[in-house]
Amino acid sequence: MSHKNEFLLTKIIATLGPASESVETILQLIEEGARAFRINFSHGAFEEHERILNNVRRAGEQSGVPVAVIGDLSGPKIRIGKVAEGGVRLAAGMAVAFQKEPVVAGEPAGDSPGELVFSTTYPRLVEEVKPGQQVLLDDGSVRLVCLDKTGKGGKAKLICEARNGGLITSGKGINLPDTNLSLPALTEKDQRCIRFAVEKGFDFLAQSFVRNGEDVRLLKDRLRDLGVRPTRPRSRKERDQQFAIISREFREFIPVISKIEKPQAVANLEEIIAETDAVMVARGDLGVEMDLAEVAVLQKRIIGLCHDYGMPVIVATQMLQSMIEAPVPTRAEVSDVANAIFDGVDAVMLSGETAVGKWPVEAVRMMNRIAGKTNQYLRSRAVDSSSPRKLQALKHRTPALAHGVKTIVRDIDARLMAVWSSMGGAAIFLSQQRMPRPIIAFSANPEILRRMALLYALTPVFMEQPASTAEFLKQVDELLLEKKWASRNDPIVLVLAQPIQQTGIANEICIHYVGESL
């Protein structure tokens, strides 16, 4: 539902920052098609995050459009310690050391004057990196290889050799693709951010540098302790996930988005999917820690596996990177965005383009245009009748009903679907079928509507609880005709509960022709 009355199948996430954090700009981003906003906890204080969150909520109210807010945890990111003002320039073949104790790199110090020694935010790096393993600095732009270790205890050093040159300044990131680190999944800062996100009512939490299913369980258990997950884990058959409120008695829920950006996460992908609520293909660090030439293949593989499980999936990083500076993207970037949409991802995400770029509104507008043209092509194609294979294995009523809807949509060439989904489950199972048709999802719960704003094909719309099925049909017809989302006699498929006041279950499919109830 963009300003052009298009239903975008694939949603747009915009990262907020200095270039886009005002209410006025956020309103423009919503108008251009953004349906979720990311607040990066790696930058800024809680006061700043709260101000941006309030701006999003205010813009959402003014626009009348449900929009989601994602809090992105920093995770166990290792960074260079302090470096002399202006930075230090490394050259190929240069010897570089790392030590545990804090030091200002580039300033004469210690027992070896003139030796270039760095410290890091993770002192155990000196112990855990082994000779022959890579140490990548500044998003992989500078590559070091560990040659040796010297000293013991607090005097231990890691001796490396630079394989190429580059300027290194304070706080630059370190990637260790060959090393299994004993870093905690959640840092002390993450713990503070989690509590903040719960207190302020964020809609999602994204977990950075996930390595395995246990990392996801740790975050879910912390959220459970804070009262925003079910009080006990559900059985493996039902699974403690799905983006929906999954118990009629349980009304507070923060879904977890697991960011796939480490080799260990790729190796443990299925166990992560079994634990998480959604997946993000975070191509930035993934392309640093793994062979850059393999990233496109990994993206396809991750998306395909998520589809098998009916798992929401997001593609992120450098999608329109050139628009940080330029008002138009490259042709390759346009193809990259379209390719992700062809693959049926739930959302595509803008990072620096909207956070710090010169053209934040234009970047969302361009992504909307690409999505609109790609969606137009997808809607012209027949609906595939297959269902996610892992959902078929569940043998539950709602996924079976959603698959039945898919068959009906194909057979009658339905223009769209409309679903009354008081708790979100029915709408989400319909979204998982990846039908290239809009799904209008009605609920009286604003939290549910905001979460649905992130998912494939769903257009969330607020509606008070209907008194009867007849009243629901009448309101649907009036809305579709008023908004010009459909014409009289267009075939649509309705999914609802019978009786409609029943919560937490969908048990009826109805073929309806727009205007029949009026």
Amino acid identity of 511?
Answer: I
Torsion of CA 419, 424, 426, 430, to 10 degrees: 80
| 168 close to 140: Cβ distance less than 8 angstroms | no
Inter-residue contact 169 to 79 (CB < 8 Å) = no
Contact criterion met (CB below 8 Å) for 94 and 161:
yes
CA angle 366, 370, 372 (to 5 degrees): 110
Known catalytic residue at 317: yes
Active-site residue identified among 35, 38, 220, 415: 38
In sequence order, the 6+-apart residues with CB closer than 8 A to the CB of 85 are none
Cα 19–Cα 195–Cα 43 angle in degrees, nearest 5: 25
Catalytic pick among 317, 354, 398, 469: 317
Residue 26 is which amino acid? I
Catalytic, out of 4, 51, 58, 79 = 79
For residue 345, CA distances in Å to 10, 337, 415 come to: 6, 10, 21
Residue by residue, DSSP assigns 308-365 as HHT--EEEESSTTGGGGT-SS--HHHHHHHHHHHHTT-SEEEESHHHHT-S-HHHHHH
Residue 79 known to be catalytic: yes
d(CA 190, CA 405): 41
Per DSSP (E only), the strands in 177-231 are 204-207
157 given a catalytic annotation: no
Catalytic residues: 38, 79, 259, 317
